[in-house]
A and B are shown apart, each in its own frame.
Chain A
Amino acid sequence: MRHIISIRDLDRAEIDGILDHAQALQGQEYNSQALKGKLLGLLFFEPSTRTRMSFASAIARLGGQSISMDSVEASSMVKGETLADTIRVVSGYVDAIVLRHPKEGAARLASEFAQVPVINAGDGAGQHPSQTLLDLYTIRQSMPLEGVTVGLLGDLRYGRTAHSLAHALSLYRATLHTISPKGLELPSGLAGELRDTGTEVIEHDDVQEVVRDLDVLYVTRIQRERFPDSASYFKVASSYRVTPELLTGVRDHLVVLHPLPRVNEIDPRVDHLPYARYFEQSANGIPVRMAMLLRVMA
């Protein structure tokens, strides 16, 4: 039984396989009945719009159906049921489970108790492999992943998408430039681990220093709750804002990505520039998640 829990579980060949499959699904006619009769369980213990809807869309486009909990409040979790029991029960209802949960490692636990494949759709500050795969997919639409130079901007301490992406990019001998506010830097353990794989990780205080050398600028949200007061948040957030002025003189092929939702990190005027790819990135969630569902359910 195949689960997709962490990007760390996939090697480069497996990642390439999923991305190639997604590309084929997006570019050509595909079997829209490939998962006919299959039922996907969407277990979301945390709010989600994009991930939940795109998995529902992906299964529907392959001829399958999905069922989901109405809300955490309406689930047996409030009665004190363990996740392990919930997973064992739901395993009997569906052919695969997509899980989002506030605790790190929840998807790994679910895979131990499930009788059907589990796909991790985000576990706390931990892993979110489908996001990483669609990030890679979007970069690959514009340039080869091999040796790409990527700037990671924003909250790199708590931002799970940045961690998973950095790890995946290390498989492609990427160069990573990290730009983050003080206190929200990439965890030193992770930076060390990346360097151990031969990946160059260069830290910067100011995005202006490096933006002209980048192939990809990956922007993440700086969360207000990480700051003691609104004033200090706005001060930091404004200095990390991506504007058309910041992007003057950048490489022609620069791609600006953001896992969304964005708040103030990217000026809406950037949306009209050729560099902006975050809405395409979001739409790419469909072929990538279709490829993931076919991998575990077909």
Chain B
Amino acid sequence: MRKEKNAPKGLLISPIENGTVIDHITAGEALNVLRIIGITGTTQESISVATNVESGKIGFKDIVKIKNRELRKEEVDKIALIAPRASINIIRNYKVWDKKGVEIPSEVIGIVRCPNPGCISNTNEPIHSCFLVQPKGLRCVYCDWLISKDITSHII
């Protein structure tokens, strides 16, 4: 098929030589994924983000590419809360060197803020929030509050 004469050249996101690609993120959650793994505008990594990309597997998806940083499994498992079907690809020399899914951890520490204003975790005490992952949602280990929906809005 002949290419459109005026079509812009280049890819939506260019391949990376080394680093991590997080694929099959639930559409619209890419920025929250970055928040959860602690990558903000002030960190050094070079990052590409694509949102609402068509995917044969899940309809629409988001993709995040992080150059020159290989994320560890325990770092990325935390995103399973909001992107349970995500896959993590470690890239070395433009090739997928390792690929794995994410597993929901048994507890999440310091990622979600307890919505209960009376909870001790919302004070100046030297602790991180801590939730047990249960079938019905996230349960605060301090005050027993259950977050059963809209976990994203409670991410710190």
Q: Is the A/B pair a real complex?
A: yes
A positions within 8 Å CB-CB of B:
6, 8, 82-84, 101-106, 108-109, 112, 123-127, 189, 193
Q: Which residue of B lies closest to A80 (CB)?
A: B124
15 new A-B contacts, CB < 8 A, other than A83-B125, A104-B120, A105-B140, are: A84-B125, A84-B126, A84-B127, A101-B120, A103-B118, A104-B118, A104-B145, A105-B143, A106-B120, A108-B120, A109-B120, A109-B121, A126-B118, A127-B144, A189-B146
CB proximity to A under 8 Å, residues B134-148: 136, 140-146, 148
| In contact, B148 and A189 (Cβ under 8 angstroms) | yes
B123 within 8 A of A: yes
Contact of A82 among B121, B124, B136 (CB under 8 A): B124
**B145 to chain A: which residues have CB within 8 Å?**
104
| In contact, A103 and B148 (Cβ under 8 angstroms) | no
Q: Which residue of B lies closest to A106 (CB)?
A: B120
Our count of residue pairs bridging A and B at CB distance below 8 angstroms stands at: 54
| In contact, A105 and B148 (Cβ under 8 angstroms) | no
B39 within 8 A of A: no
Interface of A is mostly: mixed
Distance between B120 CB and nearest chain A CB, rounded to angstroms: 4
Q: Which residue of A lies closest to B124 (CB)?
A: A82
Cβ contacts A to B, 29 pairs, < 8 Å: A6-B144, A8-B144, A82-B124, A84-B125, A84-B126, A84-B127, A102-B118, A104-B118, A104-B144, A105-B119, A105-B120, A105-B121, A105-B143, A106-B120, A108-B120, A108-B141, A108-B142, A109-B121, A109-B125, A109-B127, A123-B120, A124-B118, A125-B118, A126-B118, A126-B144, A127-B144, A189-B146, A189-B148, A193-B136
Q: Known contacts A82-B124, A83-B120, A83-B125; decide if A109 and B142 are in contact (CB<8 Å).
A: yes
Distance between B24 CB and nearest chain A CB, rounded to angstroms: 32
Contact of B142 among A84, A105, A125 (CB under 8 A): A105
CB proximity to A under 8 Å, residues B102-154: 116, 118-121, 123-127, 136, 140-146, 148
Expressed in whole angstroms, the Cα–Cα distance for A189 and B123 within the complex equals: 25
Q: Which residue of A lies closest to B127 (CB)?
A: A109
Q: Which 6 A-B pairs have the closest CB atoms?
A: A105-B142, A104-B143, A105-B120, A105-B143, A103-B120, A106-B120
**A109 to chain B: which residues have CB within 8 Å?**
120-121, 125, 127, 142
| In contact, A104 and B142 (Cβ under 8 angstroms) | yes
Q: Known contacts A104-B116, A189-B148; decide if A126 and B124 are in contact (CB<8 Å).
A: no
Q: Which residue of B lies closest to A112 (CB)?
A: B127
| In contact, A82 and B126 (Cβ under 8 angstroms) | yes
Distance between A121 CB and nearest chain B CB, rounded to angstroms: 15
Distance between B124 CB and nearest chain A CB, rounded to angstroms: 6
**A6 to chain B: which residues have CB within 8 Å?**
144
**A189 to chain B: which residues have CB within 8 Å?**
146, 148
**A83 to chain B: which residues have CB within 8 Å?**
120, 125
Expressed in whole angstroms, the Cα–Cα distance for A83 and B120 within the complex equals: 10
Expressed in whole angstroms, the Cα–Cα distance for A20 and B123 within the complex equals: 39
**A193 to chain B: which residues have CB within 8 Å?**
136
**B142 to chain A: which residues have CB within 8 Å?**
104-105, 108-109
Distance between A133 CB and nearest chain B CB, rounded to angstroms: 18
**B116 to chain A: which residues have CB within 8 Å?**
104
Expressed in whole angstroms, the Cα–Cα distance for A193 and B139 within the complex equals: 12
**A125 to chain B: which residues have CB within 8 Å?**
118
Expressed in whole angstroms, the Cα–Cα distance for A8 and B141 within the complex equals: 11
**B143 to chain A: which residues have CB within 8 Å?**
104-105, 123-124, 126
Distance between A88 CB and nearest chain B CB, rounded to angstroms: 10
**A112 to chain B: which residues have CB within 8 Å?**
127
Distance between A290 CB and nearest chain B CB, rounded to angstroms: 27
**A82 to chain B: which residues have CB within 8 Å?**
124-126
**A127 to chain B: which residues have CB within 8 Å?**
144
| In contact, A104 and B125 (Cβ under 8 angstroms) | no
Q: Which residue of A lies closest to B126 (CB)?
A: A84
Q: Known contacts A109-B125, A126-B143; decide if A104 and B119 are in contact (CB<8 Å).
A: yes
